[in-house]
Chains A and B, each alone.
Chain A
Amino acid sequence: MSRQSNRTTDSKKMNSELFTLTYGALVTQLCKDYENDEEVNKQLDKMGYNIGVRLIEDFLARSSIGRCQDFRETADVIAKVAFKMYLGVTPSVTNWSPAGDEFSLILENNPLVDFVELPDNHSTLVYSNLLCGVLRGALEMVQMAVDVRFAQDTLRGDNVTEIRMKFIKRIEENLPAGDE
């Protein structure tokens, strides 16, 4: 019995390692292709966006979460359901702005950065920037325009990883003319 459960944990862990190692190979390749960190950050965000717009469908199919009533509910779903489902970690939701349109996700440990160290000449690289793009793309598909950025990063010496999310506006659905 216990041997079987070991194998399942091992296999999940190995899949996790496949993902984190592949992500590392991607960042390394982008650093080779583009001259500066800013450009790499942009590419990571763009790629994340492309993943996010597809990931949301996978998420909605697997989680059977209904429409969120407000941004607070959205934050909870992102932290407690989405992050848990995809990355196996549950960030805490804190630092709400007084207007309720901005919050932080605090990650004690970021699975993307297992085995990673930033060399000195890449101090402005936002290694996990793909995550920002994913969140942005996914939320855009559910009619929310958001701004996502890293406020703290353990790779750059901070104690925790903090992702700051700000609600910009609701995106109106554009129905083609003539549809009922």
Chain B
Amino acid sequence: MADESLFDFLHMEIVSHIYKEQQSSKGEMDNKDRAVCVSVLESMGFRVGQGLIERLTRDSPSFKDELDVMKFVCKDFWTKVFRRQVDNLRTNHQGTYVLQDNKFSLLTQLSSGKQYLDQAPKYLAFSCGVVRGALSNLGLDSVVTAEVSVMPSCKFQVVIQKL
């Protein structure tokens, strides 16, 4: 059983690698480069999220409705992946959900407060993908974004896409 810290180390190095590779050809990063990095990290997270939710829900019965799915994500899924439950779930009952985690595990080692706030998005892209991948395999297409104003508290916004 791999230790928890291994994922943290691996994730940090992956972020570092992706950004270094994108930067190496030019020396300076513009917004387009940053968007590419975020996109690569997000799609890696997507695959991982899909795999994880498959393993986790293998023996579970199907969900009653969308809210049920989101509650599962906030409790069981979040505990398994981010080692705690989401602190606060809000919804407008029209497909938009805000998941607030006050001690997001991938941010706790960065800072508590405003230091390195500009770096936070790099470390959230993968996690957004994980959430999006999990929802995808539960039958929900979504757009997942994350927002940080004070580390390590983080808000994930999930917008379910209606077909």
Residues of A within 8 A of B (CB): 9-26, 28-29, 33, 43, 47, 50-51, 54-55, 58, 85-88, 111, 115, 130
Q: Is the CB of B7 within 8 A of A15?
A: yes
- Say how far B56's CB is from chain A's closest CB, in angstroms: 7
Q: Is the CB of A18 within 8 A of B3?
A: no
Q: In the complex, what residues of A have CB within 8 A of residue B10's CB?
A: 19, 22-23, 26, 51, 130
Which residue of B13, B80, B81 contacts A51 across the interface (Cβ within 8 Å)? B13
Q: Is the CB of A15 within 8 A of B1?
A: yes
Given A14-B52, A17-B55, A86-B6, answer yes or no on A22-B1 (Cβ-Cβ < 8 Å).
no
Extra 17 A-B pairs, beta carbons < 8 Å, given A55-B9, A85-B3, A87-B3:
A10-B80, A11-B83, A15-B3, A15-B4, A15-B83, A18-B52, A19-B6, A19-B7, A21-B47, A22-B7, A22-B44, A23-B10, A25-B45, A51-B10, A58-B5, A87-B2, A87-B6
Q: Is the CB of A28 within 8 A of B7?
A: no
Listed stretches B14-22, B26-34, B66-74, B148-156; interface member: B14-22
B 20-64 to A, binary, CB cutoff 8 A, 1 in contact else 0: 010000000000000000001000110110011001100000000
Which residue of B2, B5, B11, B80 contacts A20 across the interface (Cβ within 8 Å)? B2
CA distance A23 to B51 in the complex (A): 12
CA distance A17 to B17 in the complex (A): 22
**Which partner residue on chain B sits nearest A50 by CB separation?**
B13
